[in-house]
Amino acid sequence: MRRYLHLLAAQIRTSTLLGLQYRVDFVLDGIIEIFWALTAIVPLFIVFSKRESVAGWSFGESLLVVAWFTLLTGVLEGAIHPSLAAVVEHVRKGTLDFVLLKPADAQFLVSTARFQPWRAVNAVTAMILFVLAFRKIGHGPTPWGIAGALALLAAAMVILYSLGILTVSAAFHVVRVDNLSQLFSSIFDAARWPVAVFRGALRLVFTFVIPLALMTTYPSLALLGRLPWHAFVLSFVVAIVFAAGSRAIWLRAISQYTSAGG
């Protein structure tokens, strides 16, 4: 475990140094990220301009969901997508062999190969949105609510990462998965809304198949003190299932990899 932590620290340090090579671009990228993150709340102002609540969620409560969405977008775009996008290039060029020959777990190596540190500003933007949301709600979260939400954040990151692994595993069968990644990003945009907004089969899909509800709505309910215990447990069960399933599919994809000459 210590060896992999050292490897992870080295990969993050290398990505940060590469980003700081062009400091003006680094700062500009950070400012652009803040701008795009703030645009996420524009639809809220439009929807709540003529009503007090949507599907039982007030403006402040919905802003909590947007804050979680902003935080996870930073994780997705800064730590998951850059590395996993490189896997597609490795498979396409037949250079994945160099990764597989290294004396470390291949999934760990490809998952930590590249980071985009300026995406971390999304975490700062998310903190600002959390503060604004609770000012609008009129009271802060309880210590238990914060602890539960942080635990759910860990489960959400596992689910998000597992979905990324499942997506890139498709690269071993369909080399061009760019459209699939873009489709996933478009679907993830729905996570900025409370799951109660969606009805019927779509709500079931966003809870169990592509569990967006577990990533943003459930942590928000935990902060509000309204998340039932069975939903809390469900989040971890789903996270474990997705982690185990994505690991099995990744190993199967690797076993069928035949390099560029295959």
What are the DSSP calls for 198-250, one per residue? Answer: S-HHHHHIIIIIS-HIIIIIHHHHHHHT---HHHHHHHHHHHHHHHHHHHHHH
Question: What are the tokens at 42?
Answer: 């524009």
pLDDT exceeds cutoff 60 at 62: yes
User: Which range, 38-52, 75-89, 208-222, has the best average confidence (pLDDT)?
Assistant: 208-222
Largest CA distance in the chain: 63
pLDDT band at 260 (very low <50, low <70, confident <90, very high): low
What does the DSSP 8-state code read for residue 256?
T
User: Is 215 within 8 Å of 190 (Cβ atoms)?
Assistant: no
Task: Indicate whether 97 pLDDT > 70.
Answer: yes
232: CB partners within 8 A, 6+ apart: 148, 151, 152, 218, 222
Tell me how far the alpha carbon of residue 100 is from its chain's centroid: 26
Segment 36-49 mean pLDDT: 78
Higher pLDDT, 100 or 216: 216
Query: Hunting for tokens 């469900």 — which residue is that?
Result: 234
- Residue whose entry in the numeric block shows the structure tokens 């975490």: 123
pLDDT digits (tens, 9 = 90+) for 122-176: 888 889 899 999 999 988 899 999 999 999 999 999 999 998 888 888 777 766 6
Average per-residue pLDDT in the chain?
Answer: 83
State both tokens at 170. 């498709």
pLDDT at position 178 is 63
> What pLDDT score was predicted for residue 259?
66
Given a cut of 60, whether residue 261 has pLDDT beyond it is no
Question: Per-residue pLDDT for 82 more than 70?
Answer: yes
Residue-by-residue DSSP string for 103-132: SS-HHHHHHTS---GGGGHHHHHHHHHHHH
pLDDT tens, position by position, 176-200: 666 666 777 778 888 888 998 888 8
Question: What does the block give as tokens for 197?
Answer: 């907004």
Is the whole-model pTM more than 0.95? no
Mean predicted confidence (pLDDT) in 239-260: 86
Percent over 90 (pLDDT), the chain: 30
Place of tokens 């400091």: 23
> Using CA atoms, how far apart are residues 168 and 100, in angstroms rounded to an integer?
16
Per cent of the chain over pLDDT 70 is: 93
User: Coil, strand, or helix at residue 58?
Assistant: strand
- Check if the beta carbon of residue 77 is closer than 8 Å to that of residue 184: no
What is the model's pLDDT at position 133? 92
